[in-house]
Structure 1
Amino acid sequence: MALGAVARDGAPAEAVQCQQASADTAATADADASGWRIDCLRQQYQGKPGQWPRPWIDDGVPWQELAPVPPAQPPATAAEQARLILGTALFHDPGLSGKGAVSCATCHQAVRSFTDGLPLAVGEDRLMGKRRSQPLFAAPFAPLLFWDGRAASLEEQARGPIENPLEMNSSLEKARAYIASVPQYQQWAEAAFGSDGMADDEWLSAIASFVRVLRPASTAADAAIAGDTQALDDAQLLGLHLFRTKARCMNCHHGALLTDNRFHNIGLSFFGRRNQDLGRFEHTRDPADLGTFRTPSLRGVAQAGPWMHNGIFPNLSGIVRMYNAGMGNMERGNTTDDPLTPVKSPHIQELNLTDEEIKALVAWLEVL
């Protein structure tokens, strides 16, 4: 059967060709402890992603092949450069908060893939929200922002935390007055906007200009996507293959930023329980959005924990094991007739990954 062909059961033929039937067979057929023949996978994973075995994608999913992250565009004019400098300073300035205690960078730290390392975001006066800080690498490319998609632009996203009483606990008026009191900001404003006084949409656009240039650090995964799969060790290569096939990850995590920027219910809304969070539904009140959350980018995912919208998973292995179990039954949907019961996405299914396959998949995630 030729590479890229599909077996009668719908599984790509490559998976059959490169996996041994049993551990005993694997031991005598140049396979590793997982039962996969790495030499076979290396033969198939040559060149760029378009030349690799086709991923397993559910019918109707508008997926995109893995691709390099688009580079940030450098400022084209002196005014754009000044706006970027101003936005970078404002992003890191706690003076925008009500008491000068927290900044955007408090919850979005570069060393943590622009999260904060906490299960739930903590704002001014140590008040805690009900969702964790989201990574920002996909933000420049996402049509809707925040876990629930309530912001339609980076400027709107920048405004939200400033006015949120659980986050920066301030107002645009107070933030504007603070900015006007900083002489350096007025100098940059003159260069960026032609006036030392800034309207709210101008200084918010400056913050957005900083977020637009955020990109993940280059890793072995980027080298592989560029065509050098020899940059991956055996476990990472197997993890890549599982990510594309048996683990079904690419139904939601694909393209350059490894996110579809859509909203899915993976079964973690805790419906009917104390920690209930109905996700996008709480913004739209559309029953189709019950329990759905925006798919996060997996770029830099190893540095972005703890994971999920509620920070419930402290390690990547635990996440993969829960996906392996089909996310279990975290909803009350099977025991209630409530019409507002969230319905888990059909993309979430039991995976039957072995322990060795789980380790390999984590190894791939760790280099994204």
Structure 2
Amino acid sequence: MTTKIILWLFLAVLCLPIDGMTGALKPFTEVPIPAHNRQTPAKIELGKKLFFDRRLSGDGTMNCGTCHDPNQGFSDGLAISLNYPTTRNWRNSPTLIGVAFQKFLFHDGRAASLEEQALFPMMSAFEMNQNLDFVEEEIRAVPEYVTEFTEVFGDSDITRERIAMAIAAFERTLISRDTPLDRFLSGDARALSPKAQQGYEIFTGKGNCTTCHYGVTLSDDQFHVLNVAENPEHLKDPRIATTRRFVAKLYHFPEYRTLATDPGRYLITKKKEDWKAFRTPTLREIAATAPYMHNGIYDSLDKVIAFLNEGGGKDNNELQPLHLSPAELEQLRVFLEEGLTGTPITLTYPKIP
């Protein structure tokens, strides 16, 4: 065995996480499936059809894939999500890759399951703008769907809950697998390139990244106040202001008419410490899901890393400057781009009945 191989093996063992250790990175193993919504091939296929069915939007122009495009890392490549005609969204479209592992959905964590999450965009006035009573009748009017719902659920009763269950079953198949990091954590010392391994060591060491980014999805499923700057252009758009006030009104925020910033999770919890707090995103497939942050203000990983290296936004209490050198910043970016990109998700688009 050559000296170089011995060195690689030593570094791999040194960097492997200890079981049960807080902040440990873990390779992908299996997808958690809730007992009340077991996966079957027929349910997954039904969910895929519904995911791409434009009947789920009020005017028939949008489907779930509009904002979660398979060719854009199951996001949409825009700073803030697409919207229903004449309106404007206010937050970035998060990737659906790895959502099966998330304890909280949306940037503010207002949904606790994929089944619950699936109905929000359909009802939203600035997203799909669909009436759920109406969409049930639309789906019931399609004989092919009646047959498929009967096969999957045992009878022909088509409800919003079952529509959401089928969509959630499909979304749980959107998994990042076989990344170089997965192989590295499983014992393949050469799975990461030398520069990516240097970035890994920064990620787990000097960069303090595993404080919030750990586990299978590299997320702590918590909410943090980093004081990301508002996008000045968004602040000037009256349609975004309308959406911001509308959402705040729905969540009984007293000063919704004068609200000029995104309160984050505070709208959900009404806790002072959650003002401008947002969920820690997964880092898997991060290279394919730009732009970044809840408002899409950073269009590259270099800008995100620079923001974190500077200690986050003004007056935040969660981050401190990292003082990484230009070479270290580059190594960290290479790790994120190369090490966390897995086998492409293959998808055959369904024939919508």
Q: Is the deviation greater in 86-95 or in 274-283? A: 274-283
| Structure 2: gaps (5+ residues) | 236-259, 341-353
Look up the SS of the partner of 2:312 in the other structure: coil
State the distance in 2 between where 1:306 and 1:79 align.
32
Q: What residue number does 1:135 align with? A: 95
| Structure 1: gaps (5+ residues) | 1-37, 55-61, 334-343
Q: Deviations over 1:174-220 (max 9, x none)?
A: 21112112222111101011222312211111111111222014222
Q: What residue number does 2:309 align with? A: 324
Tell me the matched-pair count: 309
Q: What residue number does 2:242 align with? A: none
State the distance in 2 between where 1:223 and 1:266 align.
32
Q: Is the deviation greater in 206-215 or in 133-142? A: 133-142
Shift of the 203–310 alpha-carbon distance from structure 1 to 2, 3 Å rule, reads same
Q: What residue number does 2:8 align with? A: 42
State the distance in 1 between where 2:203 and 2:38 align.
43
Higher relative contact order (CA 8 A, sep 6+): 2
Q: How does 1:163-202 map to 2 (within 5 A)?
A: 163-202=123-162
Contact kept? 1:132, 1:311, Cα under 8 Å: yes
- Determine whether 1:218 maps to 2:178: yes
- Determine whether 1:65 maps to 2:24: yes
One-letter amino acid matched to 2:127 = E
With the length of structure 2 as denominator, give the TM-score of the two structures: 0.80
- The match for 1:287 among 272, 294, 312 is 272
Shift of the 151–269 alpha-carbon distance from structure 1 to 2, 3 Å rule, reads farther
- Determine whether 1:360 maps to 2:319: no
- Determine whether 1:108 maps to 2:68: yes
Q: Deviations over 1:119-166 (max 9, x none)?
A: 000122163211011112342122221100111211110000000011
Q: Is the deviation greater in 67-76 or in 315-324? A: 67-76
State the distance in 2 between where 1:278 and 1:181 align.
41
- Determine whether 1:314 maps to 2:285: no
- The match for 1:240 among 182, 200, 204 is 200
With the length of structure 1 as denominator, give the TM-score of the two structures: 0.77
State the distance in 2 between where 1:186 and 1:205 align.
15
Look up the SS of the partner of 1:298 in the other structure: coil
One-letter amino acid matched to 2:8 = R
State the distance in 2 between where 1:183 and 1:49 align.
56
Look up the SS of the partner of 2:115 in the other structure: helix
Q: Deviations over 1:69-113 (max 9, x none)?
A: 233479999983322211111011111000111111111122322
- The match for 2:122 among 162, 165, 170 is 162
Superposition CA RMSD, Å: 2.9
State, as a whole percentage, how many aligned pairs show the same letter: 34
Shift of the 70–92 alpha-carbon distance from structure 1 to 2, 3 Å rule, reads farther
Shift of the 292–208 alpha-carbon distance from structure 1 to 2, 3 Å rule, reads same
- Determine whether 1:81 maps to 2:27: no
Contact kept? 2:124, 2:130, Cα under 8 Å: yes
Contact kept? 2:292, 2:298, Cα under 8 Å: yes
Please say which structure displays the higher CA radius of gyration: 1
Q: Deviations over 1:31-70 (max 9, x none)?
A: xxxxxxx999735422485468x9xxxxxxx834111123
State the distance in 2 between where 1:270 and 1:78 align.
41
